[in-house]
Amino acid sequence: MNRPIAVVTGAGSGIGRAIARELSRRGHHVVVSDLDLASAEQTARELDSAEAHRLDVTEPEQSLDLARGVRDTHGRLDAWISNAGISKMQRFVDTSPSDLRRTFAVNTEGVFYCGQAAARVMMELGRGGVIVNTASMAAKQGRVPFLADYVASKFAVMGLTQAMAFELAPHGIRVNAVCPGFVATPMQERELAWEAELRGVSPEEVQRLWVNDTPLGRLQTPEDVASAVAFLVSADAAFITGESLSVNGGAYMD
């Protein structure tokens, strides 16, 4: 196969689905993966050249099996997008040990294990590669209500991105992150309802607060994030590594 191969995790929904579409549009064969195989298959059906796989990013051997399977089938692995993530809004003092563990298992350990799997196979193949991690605006500032565990898990992703970029650079592997703001996805629908309940206001009022907090004056689309990811994957970003790129309409500037 001549097309470059890109794996996207959490690609059955929201931002991951948009990333899969954008990389496909730019000529990649996309390995669409998700915890939920049916949603991955739905994404893959829309694309020119794609395949769907079930992948739970909290299971290190599953990531490695997928990366090795891609290598065995296609003989190459050009890009890996670690996008899967979860959130649950609640007060810091109410967050249980199991919720904290689950958030870190998916958002931080998942990115760690997927990055290891991708890097091992890219190093074996010896052709370099690109890894992009989906972090968050909440990876750069903790001034975020009701998401203390999520903030901690995403700050870790930003540090991990830099550490990976540093160690993998000699192998020609670039590692970057994107930091989205308020993106209209199923995750956001859940957060609107939680925040409204916790603040005692309507979901519409919460949405208004988020838009008011965004200088560019609208909610973000998954496509806003997908085009930034595609840029980081592309040769236009050939000398960018270790970067955590804000894609948030100015909602947080660092």
Rule CB under 6 A: say whether 161 interacts with ligand NAP. Answer: no
Contact predicate 244/135, CB 8 Å? yes
- Smallest distance, ligand NAP to C-beta of residue 189, A: 8
- At its nearest, how many Å lie between ligand NAP and the CB of residue 121? 18
Among 42, 58, 141, 207, binds ligand NAP (CB under 6 A): 58
Residue 188 is a binding residue for ligand NAP (CB under 6 A): yes
Tabulate helix, strand, coil % of the chain (nearest 5).
Answer: 55, 15, 30
Please, which of residues 121-140 interact with ligand NAP by CB under 6 A? Answer: 134, 136
CB nearer to ligand NAP: give 36 or 197.
36
Structure tokens at 95: 């967050």
**CA–CA dist 156, 111 (Å, integer):** 10
Q: Which is nearer to ligand NAP, 27 or 142 (CB)?
A: 142
- Report residue 210 as tokens: 């988020």
Q: Out of 4, 12, 115, 249, name the contact with ligand NAP by CB under 6 A.
A: 12
Distance CA 73, CA 113 (A): 21
Which one of the spans 73-81, 175-183, 200-208, 236-244 is the region binding ligand NAP (CB under 6 A)?
175-183
DSSP for 121-152, written as a single string: HHHHHTS-EEEEEE--GGGT----TT-HHHHH
Active site residue 113: no
CB 75 → ligand NAP: shortest distance, Å?
25
